[in-house]
Each structure stands twice: as C-alpha cells, then as structure tokens.
Amino acid sequence: MRKTTHSSRHRQPQNKRTKSLLIATTSVGALCLAAITFTATSASAAAVNPGLGTATSFGVLAGAGITNEGVTTVAGDIGSYPNGAITGLGPGANSITFSGVNHGNDAVSLQAKLSAETAYANLAGQGPPIDTADDLSGETLVGGVYNSGGALSLTQNLTLDAQGNPDTVWVFQTASTLTAEVNSSVTLINGAQACNVFWQVGSSATLKTNTDFVGTIIARAAVNMGTGADIDGRLIALDASVTLLGNDITRSPCTPPVTTTTTTPDETTTTDETTTTDETTTTDETTTT
C-alpha cells in the first residue's frame, strides 16, 4: 500500500496569500471607515446664516428693558418688548446715540423679538456640532457649528478664518453662559465677515471691560457689557435686559464678494470692397436739313 504524504511546504504560499488578502481587505475597510468618518466630520462643520428677519435692523434688542451709563453708540435700532423701559438715553453724561429708531415696547420690537426667537431656535438646532474647548482663546477656526458642552469663555484672542470665502458662517452654541474676559478679542481674517458670526447662548452673556467682540449674540437671559467693550454685531436678550456702559455697537452689513471681469479685445475688421464702374455712353445722332 502506497502512502502519500503532502508536505506542508506546498500549503504555505496559499496561507500567505490568504493572510495578505485579509490584511488588504482590512486595510481597505479601515480606509473606507476613515473616509466615512472624515465625511461625517466635514458635514458636522456646516453652518448657515439663520436670517434675522425684522431683528436685522436692531443693534440692541431686549425683553426686559435697556440700561445705559456713559456715552454709548449704536448702529441701528434699539428696542425692548414687553418691558419697553430704556434708561440713560440722554442727553447728558449718560446717553445713547443710535442711527435708527427707538422701538421701545411697540409693534416693531414685538415682531423683532419673534424673529429673534426663530433665529435662536434655528441656531440651537444646527449641527451636529464640532466639540470645542470651553475657552476659545488661541484658536483659529474655520466656518462651522461649534459647541463647548458647557459655559463658553474667551480670555485672549479668537481668530475666525474664512479661507477666502466671504459667505463662510460660524455658529457657536452653549446651553450655559458666554463670558469674554477683560481685553479679549475676536479677529476676522481671509474674508470673514461679522454679519456671519452667531452666538446662541442658553443663559446670560457678558463682555467685560475693553472686550473687542464680533457677531450677533442671542441670549436667553441678560446681556451685560463692561466699560468700553465693543462689538461688531448685535446684542439680543430674549427674556431679560441689556446693560450698556459706554460701548460701541456697530452692525456691519454683509459685503458681496468682489467680481473682477477681464475683457480681451478679439475683434478683427477686414474691408475688402471693390467698386468697378463700367459704363459706356454712345451718342449716335444724325441731323438732316
């Protein structure tokens, strides 16, 4: 009886091929998963301007009155509803100079409040957000929806980079408070515009002394400004008051991108006209007398 023996050496290449195939399959799967994860992260960064409706024209809008000390300048309307009390309007040492209209407790401020509520809900619902640190200091952020998961603060400088796209939007969400510490600031670069920056604040917002801030703040509770704090945007306190202490509130409109048109002359005119005159006149007149 013949005994046949198969050497294991002949099976090794097959095992190697199987292992290679498994490794390749695993690698491809990992790459696909990475691609999916990257796509999801990119998608979570999307942010859109919610639109402010009637609230667009307001620099300061409150639900429980506006208090001012010192000389404050506001670009746009001011108003409060349902508590229309506004103190420190001036003239005098405590005064508010505003370029718009005082809509204290009128139908316009009511409609503006409704528009602000709609914008607040829109901002709170955007995402899924990108998780960010509670303190935004030292960060350079591209457009997107950001959520700290807690109280949001700024102790130094935050840079917002539009990467050449002036339509880029930033949405910052917090269920708690927003606090900008003394001398903190927000810088816009590469086409970023203040009109496209929004802060949705679940509690109160405080911009301390000499803060240089950017964006529209829509807070559920009070908005408090420190002495000399400035903002390019809006201060909106839905259910509480706005406190001003000699501040500048500007409201820069969105500027459309500059379009450059280059015209290259490419016109050739050729005149090839030949005029030929071939007229013969013959007179053949005979006179007989």
pLDDT tens for 72-85 read 999 999 999 999 99
CA nearest neighbour of 112 among 87, 78, 146, 148: 78
Give yes or no for a contact between 93 and 74, defined as CB atoms under 8 angstroms apart. Answer: no
What is the sign of the dihedral through the CA atoms of 50, 199, 223 and 250?
negative
Q: What is the pLDDT along the chain (289 residues), one digit of tens a residue?
A: 444 443 333 444 444 444 443 334 444 344 333 333 333 333 355 899 999 999 999 999 999 999 999 999 999 999 999 999 999 999 999 999 999 999 999 999 999 999 999 999 999 999 999 999 999 999 999 999 999 989 999 999 999 999 999 999 999 999 999 999 999 999 999 999 999 999 999 999 999 999 999 999 999 999 999 999 999 999 999 999 999 999 999 999 998 766 555 555 555 444 444 444 444 444 444 443 3
Tell me the pTM: 0.76
Q: CA 272, CA 100: separation in Å to the nearest integer? A: 66
Task: Indicate the residue type of 273.
Answer: E
Other residues' Cβ atoms within 10 Å of the Cβ of residue 44: 17
Task: Indicate the residue type of 62.
Answer: A
Angle (nearest 5°) at CA 277 between 273 and 280: 170
